[in-house]
Structure 1
Amino acid sequence: MASKMASDDFVDEFLTCAICMRHYRAPKILPCLHSFCRECLHEWATKQQPLECPTCREPVRLPDQGVDGLRTNFYVNNLLDFAAAKKGAEPGVPCQAEKDAGNFHRKRHCPKHNQKLVFYCENCNAFVCMACTVVDHRPGKHHNPVEIATVAQRRKAELQGLLQDIDPRLKEIQDAVKEVDRKISKLVPSKEAATDQAKAYFRKLADLLQKREEEILSQIDEQCRADGKALQAKKEAIEFELAGLTSAQTFCQQAVEHGSDVHVLEVGNQVQTRVETLLTKEVDLESDWSEFQFVENLALVHVEKRVLDIFGGVKTNVDVSKCKVVVKPAVQGFKCVAELTTLNKKGRPCFTNSRAVKADIKDPSGKNVATRVLTKSRGLWEISYTPKVTGNHRLEVKVNSQQVTGSPFDVDVKGNPVLTIGQKGSGVGELSWPVGVAVDKDGNIAVVERGNKRVQVLNADTGQSLRSFPVEGEKPYGIALDSEGRFLVTSWGENYGLRRYNNEGKLLNTLTPDCMRSPHGVTVLKDGRMVVSNGTQKSCLLLQPDGSLIREIGKGQLQGPVSVSVDESRGVKFVTDMIAHKIFAFGLDGNLKFDFGRQGDNDGEFQQPRGVTTDPAGNIIVSNAGNGRVQVFAPDGTFKQKLGPVKGGHASGVALTPDGYIAVACWGGHCIELYRYM
């Protein structure tokens, strides 16, 4: 077996890094089982974010140690050693390594005791030496050192079972590729046949149908391109799955047949995870394409009546009765969209040519509104328009000159704000001096009411009150939610503190660290750390989840910090300063990056800024107490847009809903307003 491996499989290509095209140097294995030089991956990771495998484009999430934390490909290392040994043998002298290439392995030693690794601690998933079993991995409740060969044999058996599962899946994917090839081979003849039919028909119509003939031929060409593109994309997608599964099979086969016990244990879990992921991954192997043809709709004797309506077109696989239209909320003066999905008889998304899809929208007076139809992906079309007035609009959608089910559709175009929730009071759904606002993982709005000293959770679509719970502290202010859905609420004045409540409103704990005296705004990072604005100390505090201080930020620079928001993807913390009438941007290391704004009522100026949040694009959204405006800024602080003024003229906390609306706590208006922006 070793000799066969040496003569047949041991080739330079297998030992060559796909990035530097040289023999591997310290090869590292990615989760997709592709290997590259450690230094090549280091350089690749600095150039590409997010990181993808250079070979299969599979997203890569590096361990905490980065590239160095990836598994080493010891099998490749062994082959490199074997190659070096084989190259060093004298001419005419049989190389001992070549005779036993399957057992040519680098010795592994314990980094602590410098002894040969002979055991595997199953509790710790670590290789250990004899000394380790006496000191750090003594057999007992917490450690179970077992001989490497024993564990490796069990792992090999598991990998062998995975290999048996791969074969039928490989055949299924290979058959799918052949089927797509078969359809691709028929694509051009189908086009040619349809073209010939159309030409024969339209020659009889001569001058009357010349323009229509050109239109139909254009549709056929476009349909061919669309189908060709779809089928080619389908083939590439299937071949991509085939390549991934084949690569995993090869790697698994090599690990089982040629890998050392250590190597099998090193990569066994990784191989198993990769193969099981590929085997359980749902892959659409159907191409859903059928031959198109030209269809005559009307006898020649009737041609003079309704030329454009009755003459033939390109018959596609779209079933108009199954097509679906989703009308999204529309706001006056903003780009609005509806989405059309073209489906075939099986109810699966399918392509069609752009001329087959028509959309028209009329405002309440019956005037046409300019529309644009664009294809977004397979079978998905975006119908966009910008309404100039509010009120009920009518959207008509046709595919292949036929109305889709439900057309025409009613579109209720709203003004801005699109929704106002609540009125002054203490009952369910009523609000009293709302100040802080946040959005939970379900898209519901949680608002802190100073007047009622409670948190009320509201449905962002309907405004309905879902639940509420009382909060402690004299002057509750800020609110945020952590990754577990727990509420963090600040209060200042008497009985101040940062309180953590569970999802149902039960008080879990109260944090009052010595460094905090007057907490206002609060935000929570993904890892549970918190940032709190500290009013009387004129700074912000970066805290551990238990409330212990990591560092104080902005001391000596802030005058009246109120609200905070962190853009973790860019490493920036924004603070509103109601006394300086500015927004300060700090790094989490405490260093000031920049600030922007000054007192005033012009664009980009502030009157006592209160709430702040950021959107996924990095835009900064700021609310003002002094003039009730909400302003939107680019990530560098450049003014972009203003909204409002809000009801009551005092905008407090702001938050962003999952569907892209700004939720504003209107202090004087005793309500929450939702605004469309950008």
Structure 2
Amino acid sequence: MASKFPSPDEFDDQFLTCAVCMLHYRDPKILPCLHSFCKDCLQEWATKQQPLECPTCRIQVSLPDQGVDGLKTNFYVNNLLDFAAAKKGAEPGVPCQVCEGNVEGSKSWCANCAKLMCESCTQVHRKFPLFEDHEVTNEETLKAEEGMSKFHPKRHCQKHKKYELEFYCESCKALVCTACTVVDHRPGKDHNPVELATVAQTRKETLRGLLQDIEPRLKEIEASVEEVETKISNLDFAREEATVRAEAYFNKLADLLQKRKREIFSQIDEQCRVDGKALQIKKEAIEFELTGLTSAQTFCQQAVEHGSDVHVLEVGNQVQTRVETLLTKQLDLESDWSEFQFVENTALVDLEREVDNFGGIMTSVDVSKCEVAVKPAIKGFECFAELTTRNQQDRPCATNSKAVKTNMKDPSGKTVPTQVQMKSEGLWEIAYTPEVTGKHGLEVKVNSQHVSGSPFIVDVKGNPVLTIGQKGNGVGELNGPIGVAVDKEGNIAVVERYNKRVQVFDGHKGHSLSTFAIDGENPFGIDVDSGGRILVTSWGEDHGLRRYSKEGKLLDTFKPDCLLYPHGFAVLQDGRMVVLDNKQKSCLLLKHDGSIIREIGKGHLKRPAFVSLDESRGVLFVTDSSANKLFAFDLEGNLTLDFSRQGGNGGKLKNPFGVMVDPAGNIIVANSGDGRVQIFGADGRFKRTVATVMGGSATGIALTTDGYIAVACWSAHCIELYKYM
């Protein structure tokens, strides 16, 4: 629940304690979610967890380039710690920390020296020219009710140590001193230094407005939590009432109904458990949002009411972004739970023929509003359909698992086993593994009633699930497809050797979206950078690496002296590139402008073909078509793995070309020599063969956004998509 925000003097040790080490903060750093932790604690946490998550709210954190050091410092907490120490030191009986005596009389605190001084030492301290700029707070200020609000040690410029931070350069969004406004931030078209107080006041007004918006949202969420708690407390009453009514009914049926009686009790208990679980999940989800908003409110109010101008300017944008994100986030605050009860479905006179229908649990599910979504199904793989159970208000709602019945038949009428599992409130996953291709029938019932559309037709396909293109030079046709890449939208870009063009296809339906001609005699590798631009290599005459816009406009051509015979390549998220040079028999790690960083693999590679990057581990995988090997190097150039499978069919590498690393760390390799696409573990251990492609020659490969492997089939002049996991 929300409570009145305490003054600085009322903060206890818990507020000043790091949630990781449970000690007072040491150099507290602020995460984007506005939670603070010791710098050392965060650095240790970051070494154990990738990606980094906030220890409190579990939100993923993207650290700046400087790592934890680049996070904002929570100067407000630092000031509070200093203030608490100074205030405690000013209590009677505490000796001066300079002369180590004089426990009587008033005392002052020097923020620069972090020392408590008696009156005599304070006078001496003020006389030294070296200490004339030190911040000294007297005992009256320390003990005053508004003492903390006046306890703001001056902040000095990192570059000009003697000068305070008195200006804010709006162009650079940086705190600067007087000297900076003359040297690095001179007023003009590139810099606009403004006095701190002016900018800070504007920022505070913005934050005050956000604070006003937070309060009604907090009340709304709190009310929802209370409503869910009330419904949770009513579960036992609903169970008791339903059980009593069921007991009275089944006692009349005697021995004949004992079995059905136990089934009904089981349904009641399960309904209570399911509802309780769903409501508990709902409560936790709402409380999670409440915690995040309350935390942001606390931090925002700290900044507005007690933060210095410097602190407000340092964290204001961050606070504003966090609060605005929370305020605009769409929340589902409705629990949608209705009390269940036992109902009599059959009169006693119909006992013998209606035993199985005696009794039941009536829930809020409206079968007419339930929906089933059938996902693409592939022979031999676990496949899924999703059932959404809804109430009369057309909102997802939970029910007990016995109320959901499924049945699947293959084309011959044989039953295909299905499993039903509730994934979240109102969402059910129906899993099955078809053994044959063709149209299957999936029957779905809720409370013994067919869901609209049941039985559903599920068209089970084999591998490949989609074939794109055929030989030719027209739109949608391919001639010598060698490299393939997938963009963020799931479209498949193919570079054609003989048509000397790039053609982009829809990754779901396979129709051509666009084509554009490319320069260079022998195009080979292709990749898409983080901005959606397409990069293509070509070897031979007019060789190079070229970058094109999505529309096919040539943007850049890279022809560094180190690049002689470029083949496969890959681009990193930060814009760096790894290009294989077939003539130099090595990999070239290049900057985003094409200049070389280092050469990798020299002395190991004979005829490198394609490369794939595992950026999470900083490893690149290279196929060597001449050596029939796969090599792995780190970005520093160290060899970490190489393997070859020459004997037997399982895992044999025969002129390996395309290579890709999936999110689980599996290595997928395509053989141009026999067309096999195979999966290996991160340690090189062979797992299985996915397929042998049409035409028997697989070149480039890529992973689609929905989990398929797109394979360039050189001899068959097409792209094939395979399900592999």
- The alignment's TM-score, normalised by the length of structure 1, stands at 0.96
Residues 356, 545 of structure 1: alpha-carbon distance in 2 compared, 3 angstrom cutoff: same
The code of the aligned residue for 1:49 comes to Q
- Partners of 1:458 and 1:6 in 2: how far apart? 61
Three-state SS of the structure 2 residue aligned to 1:15 is coil
Three-state SS of the structure 2 residue aligned to 1:118 is strand
- Report the CA distance between 1:634 and its aligned residue: 1.2
Aligned residue number for residue 290 of structure 2: 242
- Report the CA distance between 1:601 and its aligned residue: 4.8
The code of the aligned residue for 2:329 comes to K
1:219 aligns with 2:267: yes
Aligned residue number for residue 461 of structure 2: 414
1:624 aligns with 2:671: yes
Residues 13, 439 of structure 1: alpha-carbon distance in 2 compared, 3 angstrom cutoff: closer
The code of the aligned residue for 1:58 comes to I
The code of the aligned residue for 1:22 comes to L
Pick one of 630, 634, 650 that aligns with 2:697. Answer: 650
Three-state SS of the structure 1 residue aligned to 2:154 is coil
- Report the CA distance between 1:425 and its aligned residue: 2.1
Aligned residue number for residue 143 of structure 2: 98
1:107 aligns with 2:108: no
Residues 289, 668 of structure 1: alpha-carbon distance in 2 compared, 3 angstrom cutoff: same
In structure 2, stretches of 5+ residues that fail to align are: 1-5, 93-103, 107-138
Aligned residue number for residue 365 of structure 2: 318
Tell which deviates more after alignment, 224-233 or 445-454.
445-454
Aligned residue number for residue 81 of structure 1: 82
- Report the CA distance between 1:6 and its aligned residue: 6.0
Three-state SS of the structure 2 residue aligned to 1:54 is coil
Aligned residue number for residue 420 of structure 2: 373
Residues 296, 641 of structure 1: alpha-carbon distance in 2 compared, 3 angstrom cutoff: same
Pick one of 234, 238, 252 that aligns with 1:204. Answer: 252
The code of the aligned residue for 2:481 comes to P
- Report the CA distance between 1:554 and its aligned residue: 0.7
- Report the CA distance between 1:228 and its aligned residue: 0.9
Aligned residue number for residue 114 of structure 2: none
Partners of 2:520 and 2:544 within 8 A in 1 = yes
1:488 aligns with 2:535: yes
Tell which deviates more after alignment, 317-326 or 55-64.
55-64
The code of the aligned residue for 1:659 comes to D
Partners of 1:122 and 1:144 within 8 A in 2 = yes
- Partners of 1:470 and 1:133 in 2: how far apart? 52
Partners of 1:516 and 1:534 within 8 A in 2 = yes
- Partners of 1:5 and 1:456 in 2: how far apart? 64
Three-state SS of the structure 2 residue aligned to 1:14 is coil
- Partners of 2:588 and 2:478 in 1: how far apart? 30
- Report the CA distance between 1:623 and its aligned residue: 0.8
- Partners of 1:379 and 1:611 in 2: how far apart? 43
In structure 1, stretches of 5+ residues that fail to align are: none
Aligned residue number for residue 39 of structure 1: 40
Pick one of 362, 373, 378 that aligns with 2:409. Answer: 362
Three-state SS of the structure 2 residue aligned to 1:55 is coil
The code of the aligned residue for 1:144 comes to N
Partners of 1:600 and 1:606 within 8 A in 2 = no
Residues 461, 12 of structure 1: alpha-carbon distance in 2 compared, 3 angstrom cutoff: closer
Partners of 1:630 and 1:645 within 8 A in 2 = yes
Aligned residue number for residue 15 of structure 1: 16
- Report the CA distance between 1:459 and its aligned residue: 2.4
Three-state SS of the structure 2 residue aligned to 1:185 is helix
- Report the CA distance between 1:577 and its aligned residue: 0.4
Aligned residue number for residue 668 of structure 1: 715
- Partners of 2:577 and 2:632 in 1: how far apart? 16
Residues 601, 439 of structure 1: alpha-carbon distance in 2 compared, 3 angstrom cutoff: farther
- Partners of 1:246 and 1:328 in 2: how far apart? 40
- Partners of 1:88 and 1:459 in 2: how far apart? 71
- Partners of 1:32 and 1:494 in 2: how far apart? 53
Three-state SS of the structure 2 residue aligned to 1:550 is strand
1:266 aligns with 2:314: yes
Residues 534, 242 of structure 1: alpha-carbon distance in 2 compared, 3 angstrom cutoff: same
The code of the aligned residue for 1:53 comes to C
Three-state SS of the structure 2 residue aligned to 1:648 is helix
1:133 aligns with 2:178: no
Partners of 2:278 and 2:424 within 8 A in 1 = no
- Report the CA distance between 1:239 and its aligned residue: 1.9
Residues 206, 262 of structure 1: alpha-carbon distance in 2 compared, 3 angstrom cutoff: same
Partners of 2:346 and 2:354 within 8 A in 1 = no
- Report the CA distance between 1:600 and its aligned residue: 4.5
Residue-by-residue CA offset, 1:625-651 (whole Å, 9 max, x unaligned): 111111011122111110332111111
Aligned residue number for residue 297 of structure 1: 345
- Partners of 2:601 and 2:521 in 1: how far apart? 26
The code of the aligned residue for 2:428 comes to W
1:332 aligns with 2:379: yes
Tell which deviates more after alignment, 189-198 or 338-347.
338-347
1:315-464 matches, within 5 Å, as: 315-464=362-511
Residues 98, 327 of structure 1: alpha-carbon distance in 2 compared, 3 angstrom cutoff: same
1:183 aligns with 2:184: no
Q: Size of the alignment, in residue pairs?
A: 673
1:639 aligns with 2:686: yes
TM-align CA RMSD: 1.8
Pick one of 271, 278, 281 that aligns with 2:326. Answer: 278
- Report the CA distance between 1:165 and its aligned residue: 1.6
- Partners of 2:529 and 2:709 in 1: how far apart? 20
- Partners of 2:297 and 2:645 in 1: how far apart? 63
Aligned residue number for residue 29 of structure 2: 28
- Partners of 1:24 and 1:403 in 2: how far apart? 60
Partners of 1:6 and 1:98 within 8 A in 2 = no
Partners of 2:29 and 2:73 within 8 A in 1 = yes
The code of the aligned residue for 1:589 comes to E
Aligned residue number for residue 613 of structure 1: 660
- Partners of 2:630 and 2:702 in 1: how far apart? 16
Partners of 1:394 and 1:409 within 8 A in 2 = yes
